[in-house]
Copies of this chain bind each other. A is one copy, B any other.
Amino acid sequence: MFKNLWRQRVQLVEADLIRELHATNSLDEKLVQAMEYSLMAGGKRLRPILLMAAADACGTAGEKFITVADALEMIHTYSLIHDDLPAMDNDDYRRGKLTNHKVFGEAMAIIAGDALLTLAFEVVLRQKDVPPEILLNVLREISTAAGAAGMVGGQAIDLRSEGVQIDFATLKRMHAGKTGALFRAAIRSGALLAQADEKILDALTRYAEAFGLAFQITDDILDVTGDAAVLGKATGSDIKNAKSTYVSLTSLEAARNFAREAVEAAVDALKIFGTEADFLRELVTFLTAREK
């Protein structure tokens, strides 16, 4: 049930992503190809899935807000393209495929990322059947989460921490920005779109923050214990790049304990919900037990 719904919605999102991409009248065909290459490179589509699941938990079928959900995936994709650039992480592979700049060249990869970020906002504005004030609040949520106070801010900390021993508080701040902010925005956007009240919004926000933490710690663990073939990317890259992680700053065992606590906190945040939040409960458990 849980996995079926996930798979179903991933298919919906992927079909919709490609539709929204081509609904923009690009001046250059190659640019669209570069955007599409990374946008359709697979992945868990977690941010759209989270947005829809949050709306479900608030009593509105998440599919209704698929357009905003698409936008979050576009922002995530642009960030991966830029992250992989030679000047950044300099990665040749992502999800088992060549990275964008390896295929389209560095310049095109930079502007394909720029275009995807811009398209994300264009796409949010295409969301139907949502009152204007609510759409503006969702845009506020997403733009704040994606920028210097969120995702890009986290990337900046990451950039400046390479080869440097950072403290635990900085590590948490980095991840709260780099990955946490967009997860949080996905979940809060789902709740805002479903017009949830403050109490429900607060509960889902607490879930989102614990979820982000659990996800990131698991990511750090997998970089040590994971199978490169299953992950579709090289393991050990954190050690190679001398990056501080939940594992390197504590231990594998301590990191596993942190992950477990975060899952508990996420599930606890959902205690005011009934079965309508089952997907969110299963998702956090599943993701921390994942192998990729």
Contact = CB atoms under 8 A, between A and B. Distances in A.
Give the copy number.
2
Interface stretch (A7-15, A145-153, A264-272): A145-153
> How many A residues touch the partner, as a band?
35 or more
A27 B157 contact: yes
A149 B110 contact: no
Interface string A22-64: 0011111011100100000000000000000000000000000
A156 B147 CA distance: 24
Contacts of A218: none
Contacts of A177: 27
A24 B156 contact: no
Interface in A89-112: 105-108, 110-111
Interface in A229-257: none
B114 A27 contact: no
Interface in A131-176: 132-133, 135-136, 139-140, 143-144, 146-150, 152-157, 159-160, 173-174
Given A82-B110, A139-B139, A115 B27 contact: no
A86 to B, nearest CB: 8
Interface stretch (A119-127, A191-199, A200-208, A282-290): A119-127
Contacts of A280: none
A85 interface: yes
Contact of A111 (B108, B144, B152): B152
Given A32-B148, A88-B110, A111-B155, 18 more contacts: A26-B153, A26-B156, A27-B156, A27-B173, A27-B177, A82-B114, A87-B106, A108-B156, A114-B117, A115-B153, A117-B117, A118-B146, A119-B143, A119-B147, A121-B139, A125-B139, A125-B143, A132-B132
A122 B174 CA distance: 21
Given A82-B114, A111-B159, A114-B82, A25 B149 contact: yes
Nearest to A35: B148
Nearest to A134: B132
Contacts of A27: 148-150, 153-154, 156-157, 173-174, 177
Most chain B beta carbons < 10 A, residue from A31, A78, A121: A121
A32 B148 CA distance: 8
B143 A118 contact: yes
A149 B26 contact: yes
16 contacts: A26-B149, A27-B174, A31-B156, A82-B114, A88-B110, A111-B155, A114-B114, A114-B152, A118-B147, A118-B152, A119-B143, A119-B148, A125-B139, A132-B136, A136-B136, A139-B139
